[in-house]
């Protein structure tokens, strides 16, 4: 079935790639974004790459009336809710901004959907809800316990949407817990380009590879991991967004509330990722080992089998592919 999908936060890194994957799968795309952490240029690139138009509304997903109007005007049939503030460190300094923006945008979007009789909702959750996991790889049934205000907004929204789904059996709601998205569309024309200093490892490594920054600070080499540096499950952003298309397309009447991990199921250390970027770019990456970053954990790797089995979805791209595509997008 062809859907008209409202992507809140759709001008951002994952949102613009999601728009591309949806259009390529034959769906229509409407975006609401307030551009607090993005520029509209990425969506123009997506239109150009796919040859399909995107309806772009510059505005705030906390504005229930605006979301309602956008849904009605465009006959939206499903929503992927990505609008959020996402910097862990900033969320510790400004918790009210994070709880305000992330919770209110989710609630306003759900309320507008109910008013407009639209019931398919996909939520951008995060592996951060697992906090410091007891063991790896992590299944969806593992204990939840986010360690930052940002992570707790994801945990709280998951609780809210589970209650919402239980309140009316017309809802079809899926939370997708992303592990660490990296990479870019293979054209290189849409990129991860955060506004301000990058927080995440890959944009930082790209800055060094491109000569915009002198070195990568590696946060600790005394973790209980293969080489002492932090291990994460890096997932190519195109694999990640294809998981959204699969999640949307498998929703059926009565599918209720579902939760899936989206990851490769394979861990990579900071030093291994740096080596993979060196291999992909041909440049040596200068780095320095410094102390651990507050709030970091040793390891976070997905058990993606539930999504593999129930969504018929699997990652198809490697970490090396992601390094090459990130570099292409520079
Ligand atoms: P991003 O910052 O590039 O995209 C988020 C977009 O939401 C931005 O374009 C921003 O301008 C917009 N936005 C924020 N608040 C808004 C509001 N109230 N109304 C309208 N637009 C608003 O981040 P991303 O990496 O593309 O993340 C997308 C989603 O995935 C977020 O919900 C994020 O929490 C989640 N997520 C990201 C990661 C990651 O590592 N990138 C991991 C797990 C989950
Ligand atoms: C990865 C590894 C760092 C930067 C965060 C959020 C999580 C999710 C994804 C949204 C760690 C190390 C990093 C640097 C480094 N986002 N590192 N030097 O911390 O796994 O997850 O982004 O939901 O919620 O917490 O990702 O890319 O910041 O770090 O050594 O300059 O790289 O210590 O081991 P993280 P990251």
What are the structural domains, with CATH classification, of the chain? Answer: 4-182+235-263 (3.40.50.720)
- Packing angle, helices 41-50 and 13-24, rounded to 10: 20
Percentage, residues of the chain above pLDDT 90: 95
Write the CA distances from 222 to 9, 75, 201, 254, integer angstroms: 37, 54, 18, 48
Across the range 259-278, mean pLDDT stands at 98
For ligand 1, the distance from its centroid to the CA atom of residue 204, given in whole angstroms, is 18
User: Of the ligands numbered here, which is closest to the C-alpha atom of 85?
Assistant: 1
pLDDT at 135: 97
Q: Which residue has the tokens 């945008």?
A: 105
CA 101, 102, 103, 104 torsion-angle sign: positive
Q: Whose CA is nearest to atom 32 of ligand 2?
A: 201
Ligand 2, residues at Cβ distance < 6 Å: 86, 88, 126, 128, 151, 180, 199-201, 204, 216-219, 230, 232, 270, 293, 296, 300
Q: Answer yes or no: is the C-beta of 105 below 6 A from any ligand 1 atom.
A: yes
CA proximity to 80, closest of 178, 167, 163, 203: 178
End-to-end distance of the chain based on CA atoms, in angstroms?
A: 36
Residue 129 has pLDDT above 80, yes or no: yes
257 catalytic per annotation? no
* Pair 238, 232: CB distance under 8 Å: no
For ligand 1, the distance from its centroid to the CA atom of residue 269, given in whole angstroms, is 25
Structure tokens at 49: 């790459």
For ligand 2, the distance from its centroid to the CA atom of residue 236, given in whole angstroms, is 15
Q: Which one from 150, 178, 234, 257 is the annotated catalytic residue? A: 150
Write the CA distances from 301 to 99, 134, 180, 263, 296, integer angstroms: 26, 11, 9, 7, 14
pLDDT at 40: 87
Phi, psi angle pair for 114, to nearest 5°: -60, -45
pLDDT, one tens digit per residue, over 15-73 is 999 999 999 999 999 999 999 999 989 999 999 999 999 999 999 999 999 999 999 99
Q: Which residue has the tokens 């599918």?
A: 255
Quick one: how many helices (H) and strands (E) in the chain?
Answer: 12, 14
For ligand 2, the distance from its centroid to the CA atom of residue 13, given in whole angstroms, is 16
């Amino acid at each position: 079935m062809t859907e008209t999908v409202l992507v809140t936060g759709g001008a951002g890194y994952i949102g613009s790639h999601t728009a591309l994957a949806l259009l390529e799968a034959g769906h229509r795309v409407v975006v609401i974004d307030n551009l607090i952490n993005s520029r509209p240029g990425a969506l123009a690139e997506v239109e150009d790459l796919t040859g399909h138009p995107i309806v772009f509304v510059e505005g705030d997903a906390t504005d229930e009336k605006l979301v309602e109007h956008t849904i009605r005007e465009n006959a939206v049939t499903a929503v992927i809710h990505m609008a959020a503030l996402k910097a862990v460190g900033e969320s510790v300094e400004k918790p009210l901004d994070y709880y305000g923006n992330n919770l209110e945008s989710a609630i306003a979007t759900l309320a507008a959907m109910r008013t407009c009789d639209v019931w398919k909702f996909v939520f951008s959750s995060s592996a951060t809800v697992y906090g410091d996991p007891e063991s790896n790889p992590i299944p969806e049934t593992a204990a939840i316990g986010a360690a930052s205000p940002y992570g707790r907004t994801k945990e709280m929204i998951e609780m809210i949407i589970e209650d919402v789904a239980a309140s009316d059996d017309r809802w079809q709601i899926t939370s997708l817990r992303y592990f660490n998205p990296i990479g870019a569309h293979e054209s290189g024309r849409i990129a991860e380009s955060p506004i301000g200093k990058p927080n995440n490892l890959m944009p930082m490594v790209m800055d060094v590879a491109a000569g915009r920054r002198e070195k990568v600070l590696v946060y600790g080499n005394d973790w209980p991991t293969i080489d002492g540096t932090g291990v994460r499950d890096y997932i190519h952003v195109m694999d990640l967004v294809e998981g959204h298309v699969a999640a949307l397309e498998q929703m059926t009447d009565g599918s209720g509330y579902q939760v899936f991990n989206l990851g490769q199921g394979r861990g990579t250390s900071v030093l291994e990722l740096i080596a993979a970027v060196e291999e992909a770019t041909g440049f040596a990456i200068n780095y320095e080992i410094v102390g651990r970053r507050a709030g970091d954990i040793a390891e976070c790797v997905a058990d993606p089998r539930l999504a593999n089995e129930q969504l018929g979805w699997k990652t198809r791209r490697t970490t090396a592919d992601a390094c090459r595509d990130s570099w292409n997008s520079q």
